[in-house]
Structures are given as C-alpha cells and as structure tokens.
Chain A
C-alpha cells in the first residue's frame, strides 16, 4: 500500500515539476510579445505597419536565442496572432483581408522557424563542444589518477573519486569480481566498503551479460542504481554502481558515453592491478621454492657435517671410551661440544630468518642505548671465543642519542657482523666497531675487518641468501648477513658493504633517529636524596 501511495505522489510531483519547467521556458516569450504589442499600439504602430513585424521578429530572434526552439515557435504564433488582431484592419478580429498581410504572417513564422533552428543548432554544437571538453578533462584526470595508483585499493578509491567529481550528484561504487568466485570486495570514494545485497543481483546480471543494467537502461530499469560492467581483456573484472544522490525518483542516472568511457579505463586499470598482483604472488612462490631448495641442499650439507662429527666422536666415547687416553677422550668431548654449539647457532639463525620473513619475528622497539647493545654483543662474542683471544675495539661516542630499536635483534645483527669479521679477518689485526651519529637523521654503525675482503662485484650479493664468496671457504650457512639485512630493514635502516681501505671488508648499517629520546631530568650531581620528580 505505502509504496503505491508514494509512487502516485511522486508521479503527481513529476507532472507539476514538468509544468513549472515549461512555464518558465515559454512565459517570457509570450510576455515579450505582449509588451511589443502594447508598445506598438502606444507608439502608433497602426499608422505605419512596416516597423511592427520587424519588432516582432526581433523579439522572436531574442526568445529563440535565450529560451530555445519551442519558446520561439510559441512566440512566433503569438506574434502572428497579435499582429492580425491588433494591427491589421479590421482591428479586433483575426480576419485577413489583404493577401499581402497573409504573406507577412507567413514570413514572420518562417523567419521564426529559421532563426530558431539556426540558433538551436548553434547552441547544441556549443553544448556538445563544452560537454566533450569536460568529458575529455574528466577522462584525462581519471587516467592520470589510475596510473598513479599502486594498489588495487588506491586505484579503485581514486577511480570512484574521479567519477563522482565528473558526474554530478552521483555516488559511485565499484564491485570487484573474480571470474569464478563472483564479487569479492567493493570500494567507494571513501575506501573499502561492504558488499550490499541490493547491488549484487543487478550487478551480477550486468557482469554476466556484459551490458549496462538497472536504472537508465533497458535491463531491469526499476533498480535503484545504474550498473555498468567493467569489461577488460579477461572478461568482466567488476561492476560500477552509480546511484543518484538526489532523492527524487525522476532523476535517473544513465550510462552516458562519459560513464562508459570511464568504466572502460577503470576496467583496464583494475585488470593491470590484478595481473601485477598475480605476478607478484607467482614471484613469491618461485622465490619460496628457490629458497626451499637452497635451504635443503645447504642444510643437508651444513647440518650433516657437525652431526657426523658428533655421532662419530660420541660413539667412539661410548664404545671404547675406557681404552682411550685421557687427552684423546677430552679431545673427543671437545669436538662434540664445539660441533653441537655450531649446530645450535645454525639452527637459531635459520629459525630467526624464517620467523623474520614470515613476519612472526616481531620487532619490539623501545628506547635503547646503542652503547649497551654493543657492550652486550661484545660480551657474548667473548663468552663464545674466550675473552681476549681476539682483539675487538669499539668506538662509541659519549653523547649518542637513545634509539628506538629492538635490543635483542640489533645485538644479533652486531654479533653476526662481528662473527663474520673475526672469521675472515687476519688474526693480527683488531676488528673495529665504530658508531657515529649523522646529524639528527640516523646513526651509522661500521664493523671493519682487515682480511682478504670480498671481490667488489660480490659486495652487493653477500646479503643474499646462501651467498658465500669463493674467498670464504668458511663454515656455517650464509645466513648471518641475510638475517642482519632483514633486521636492519625492519628497523627502517640500510645495510651495505664496502672495501676497507688497505684491504678487508667493512659492513655498515644505519638506524634512523626517530622522535625525541628522553634526556637527563635532574641536575648533575645532586648530593642529597632529593626527589627529582617531586620538583
């Protein structure tokens, strides 16, 4: 019931609206004709008939220019009638006595038609020129925006914003469709939105038939929005839903040529984005596969070597421990211990790297002192190698600001770099760790060794997984530097390697200085037990 009432009401409202529109258009012309008639009579137009038709023609020309074809014809008919009635004898009647007067009337009508037709054509051409200029502008800015967008999300949001600014009083949404699975997500100019069930049915029709549907079309015209399929080379990638912002049901959104062109551009952009997404996924899969193979071959070698040592040494101890001399027994035990430690480090690196890459290794940033992190890394290296066996020198400036970092992870980076440096450096040279703040931008950490170095072509590759230089016939998976790179990058820093002047390898990394670190908050030194926080 309620729906019929509303419909009747809107239909009535629509009629009223149309009538008022017609009145607005036609009334001025008729009024102008009336005015000319009065003026003509007052100025004695009946005595000299030559000027009156010219005045009427002038009015008709103006009306046609200003109010269009229909108003001009109406004005012409009114003019002819007024001319007959008021100016041609017998006055007060429409009778025409002279054939000359009939000719004047016909000429007046003919001129009216001619002038208004010309005017109408001019106006149409001007309007279409303006329209196509605006459409070209809208399309151009859409294409530009779409080219700038990097993700499916940003692309669709930018697209909806452009369409809404190009088509007045319309809210636009795009429903993204995945061939087999149907619609999977929707975007408005404000961002990702939920899929509305009222959209799905008609949108689906449009997607299946590859034709506009809904409001303003021949297909399912009673829908509340106009649905334009986004057709790309691979088929329908989505549907554009346009809904009028005006609540008046007489205002209908139609799939204009502009909308269709925009839909086409959007379809191409979405397809490009989907393709690059799929390519990215494929690349990741290929990379994962490559890593898996590398891990397998590397793990089988690097894990088996220590395991072989452990198994053989321990079985020797178990089987004939009592027959071995004391030193030999101790040597076996030491071998087992060393190789077990090597295995343990290896597994830890492997685990950390996997966790870092899968995102499971979280970076817990806090205000930390790099001096402490360096100290703790040095202590742990000492614990492992025995204190003082190798020379390690650290230069940490006194006024280094606190940094937001994960102390455990950065300690790991330092340990990996120091381990590397110790492994490849000449034993008679110290390994140096040097830290310097570069303005208030970042802090540069350098780990410098004086070993054989690495061929300059390989300097970039040493951070790649399982890379090992020919110069470094060492042990362990080539994971330490990869892990270091992952951690530094997770902190927003960079890591790179250069040649140490005079030979050797220098690995440097940066850690950005972010925010304001807490500073000393009390006067130094205060003798008495004052409470700095109570002041």
Chain B
C-alpha cells in the first residue's frame, strides 16, 4: 500500500467502481495517495477539502457533464487536470483542454502511460509554481524564452517570428498537449480561430528545421485532432 501519508494526492473522478479500484491499487503501489469521487458533486467537494495535487477526470459522469466540471474545479484549484475519455476522436477532449485541462488519456490506457502523464503533469505544475521558466531544453536544443533564441549545441537556429511564438507556446507547457486553437490564439490572436491550416504550415517548417526525420519527430509531436506536444523527455 506504499507510503500513504507522504505521497502526492491524486483525485480520481470516475463513476465506475471497478476502474476506480484498479486505478487506486495501481497508484497507491506507486506511492500516491488516492481519493476517489464517483460524481461531479463529490469531486468538487474533494477538490475544496483535500486540495489534491493532481486530478484524473473521466468526462462521462452520471450527474454533471465532465466538460462543465473543468472550470468548476479551476475555481478552487490550479492542480493539473488530466481528462480521460472513452473515444479516440472525442471533440470534448479538445474542449476540455481549451477549458483548462492539462492533458488527456483515451480509454483503454496502459498503466505505464498513466503514470508517465501524472509524473509530467505534477512536475510541470511544480515548475510553474516556482518561477516562470525562461530556458527550456529538449534533446540538443536550448530555447531561451526571454532572449528569444534557439540554440542547437553551439549553433544558432534561425526561426521566424511566428515559428518562435509557436515553439515558445509549446515550451511553456513542456510535455503537455497544447490545442491547435490555443496555438492559433497565441500566435495570431483570437480573430483567426478556425484557421488551423496556418498552424499546420508553420509546424511543418518548424519540423523541417528541428527534426532530423519529420515523419518520425522526436520533439514536435502531433496529436491527431487535438494539437501538439513538445517532448522534452525522450524515454518516460
């Protein structure tokens, strides 16, 4: 049962008792404290009283639309939220990410994947908590958000203004999914919603500059139908 008192607290919002039980066992084995909530109402109460370090939120809940729960949780907590959805192409996933969720998982997911996502989310949240990061490293690259430079080893990589903005937006949330919509807003402003083609075009040129094989990207990972993820850790 691991170190029940000391580990980070995970709130698992899930209405299926069996899934909740498996998740609890797995997470506790890995040293987390687990709090379960089987309704949206319970979830909000637990967020208020227990102040969890991370929230695992199933989008299909009996009482409240999981999507509406994201902003409701955000009122009380800044803890990272990982949404769990049953369908691969679920449009609610994008909405949840835009509403303030930090990452997503699709059912059925593997335990190592779940643990990796939780670790990433907790770590990047802790970093945000400390001080805004100005240097983000991935592979041989060092991105200086303040100095607006990207260096590979010793070499300066020349980026256009838009490319830099896109890369910087991804780097501010390392290893998390940033939706295409969020990227559009960051680089072009909210007047350009719906023009995801722009993002694709500039991500293509970014990949040409940063990736050795653009069809097997190491850093700029595309999540079909969702957005992009800047991978800063290669083996998780």
**A326 / chain B contacts, CB cutoff of 8 Å:** none
**A374 / chain B contacts, CB cutoff of 8 Å:** 215
- Which single member of A402, A412, A533 contacts B200 (CB below 8 Å)? A402
In the assembled complex, B196 has its CB within 8 A of some CB on chain A: yes
Instruction: Assess the B216–A521 pair: CB atoms within 8 A.
Output: no
In the assembled complex, A80 has its CB within 8 A of some CB on chain B: no
A 331-362 to B, binary, CB cutoff 8 A, 1 in contact else 0? 00000000011001000100000000000000
Instruction: Assess the A368–B200 pair: CB atoms within 8 A.
Output: yes
Instruction: Assess the A396–B197 pair: CB atoms within 8 A.
Output: no
Please report the C-alpha to C-alpha distance between residue A530 and residue B148 in the assembled complex, in whole angstroms: 13
In the assembled complex, B139 has its CB within 8 A of some CB on chain A: no
A 356-372 to B, binary, CB cutoff 8 A, 1 in contact else 0? 00000000101111011
Instruction: Assess the B148–A529 pair: CB atoms within 8 A.
Output: yes
Please report the C-alpha to C-alpha distance between residue A340 and residue B203 in the assembled complex, in whole angstroms: 36
In the assembled complex, A528 has its CB within 8 A of some CB on chain B: yes
- Which single member of B108, B164, B196, B214 contacts A344 (CB below 8 Å)? B108
Please report the C-alpha to C-alpha distance between residue A340 and residue B109 in the assembled complex, in whole angstroms: 11
Of A372, A408, A527, most B-chain CB atoms within 10 Å: A372
Please report the C-alpha to C-alpha distance between residue A402 and residue B223 in the assembled complex, in whole angstroms: 17
Which partner residue on chain A sits nearest B198 by CB separation?
A518
Interface residues of A in 496-535 (CB under 8 A from B): 517-533
- Which single member of B189, B197, B225 contacts A367 (CB below 8 Å)? B197
In the assembled complex, B201 has its CB within 8 A of some CB on chain A: yes
In the assembled complex, B38 has its CB within 8 A of some CB on chain A: no
Please report the C-alpha to C-alpha distance between residue A520 and residue B225 in the assembled complex, in whole angstroms: 22
In the assembled complex, A63 has its CB within 8 A of some CB on chain B: no
Kindly provide the distance from the CB of A32 to the nearest chain B CB, expressed in whole angstroms.
81
Instruction: Assess the A532–B162 pair: CB atoms within 8 A.
Output: yes
Which partner residue on chain B sits nearest A412 by CB separation?
B88
Kindly provide the distance from the CB of A262 to the nearest chain B CB, expressed in whole angstroms.
51
Instruction: Assess the B161–A531 pair: CB atoms within 8 A.
Output: yes
Please report the C-alpha to C-alpha distance between residue A520 and residue B199 in the assembled complex, in whole angstroms: 10
Which partner residue on chain A sits nearest B211 by CB separation?
A375
Instruction: Assess the A522–B160 pair: CB atoms within 8 A.
Output: yes
In the assembled complex, A105 has its CB within 8 A of some CB on chain B: no
- Which single member of B88, B195, B197 contacts A348 (CB below 8 Å)? B88
Please report the C-alpha to C-alpha distance between residue A373 and residue B224 in the assembled complex, in whole angstroms: 7
Which partner residue on chain A sits nearest B113 by CB separation?
A383
- Which single member of B159, B160, B196 contacts A366 (CB below 8 Å)? B196
**B224 / chain A contacts, CB cutoff of 8 Å:** 372-373, 376, 407-408, 411
Which partner residue on chain A sits nearest B191 by CB separation?
A533
Please report the C-alpha to C-alpha distance between residue A409 and residue B87 in the assembled complex, in whole angstroms: 12
In the assembled complex, B7 has its CB within 8 A of some CB on chain A: no
In the assembled complex, B62 has its CB within 8 A of some CB on chain A: no
Instruction: Assess the A376–B222 pair: CB atoms within 8 A.
Output: yes
Interface residues of B in 143-167 (CB under 8 A from A): 148, 158-164
Please report the C-alpha to C-alpha distance between residue A348 and residue B89 in the assembled complex, in whole angstroms: 11
In the assembled complex, A52 has its CB within 8 A of some CB on chain B: no
Please report the C-alpha to C-alpha distance between residue A529 and residue B158 in the assembled complex, in whole angstroms: 12
B 152-193 to A, binary, CB cutoff 8 A, 1 in contact else 0? 000000111111100000000000000000000000110000
Please report the C-alpha to C-alpha distance between residue A524 and residue B201 in the assembled complex, in whole angstroms: 13
Please report the C-alpha to C-alpha distance between residue A500 and residue B168 in the assembled complex, in whole angstroms: 45
**B217 / chain A contacts, CB cutoff of 8 Å:** 375
In the assembled complex, B21 has its CB within 8 A of some CB on chain A: no
Kindly provide the distance from the CB of A379 to the nearest chain B CB, expressed in whole angstroms.
7
4 nearest interchain CB pairs? A367-B197, A518-B197, A372-B222, A394-B215
The contact sample of 27 A-B pairs, CB cut-off 8 A, is A341-B108, A366-B197, A367-B195, A369-B201, A371-B207, A371-B215, A372-B200, A372-B203, A372-B204, A372-B222, A372-B224, A373-B224, A375-B214, A375-B217, A376-B221, A378-B216, A379-B221, A396-B214, A402-B201, A406-B89, A408-B88, A408-B224, A518-B195, A518-B198, A524-B160, A525-B158, A532-B160
Q: Given contact pairs A344-B108, A348-B88, A372-B204, enumerate 5 new A-B contacts (beta carbons under 8 Å).
A: A372-B224, A375-B214, A376-B224, A524-B205, A530-B161
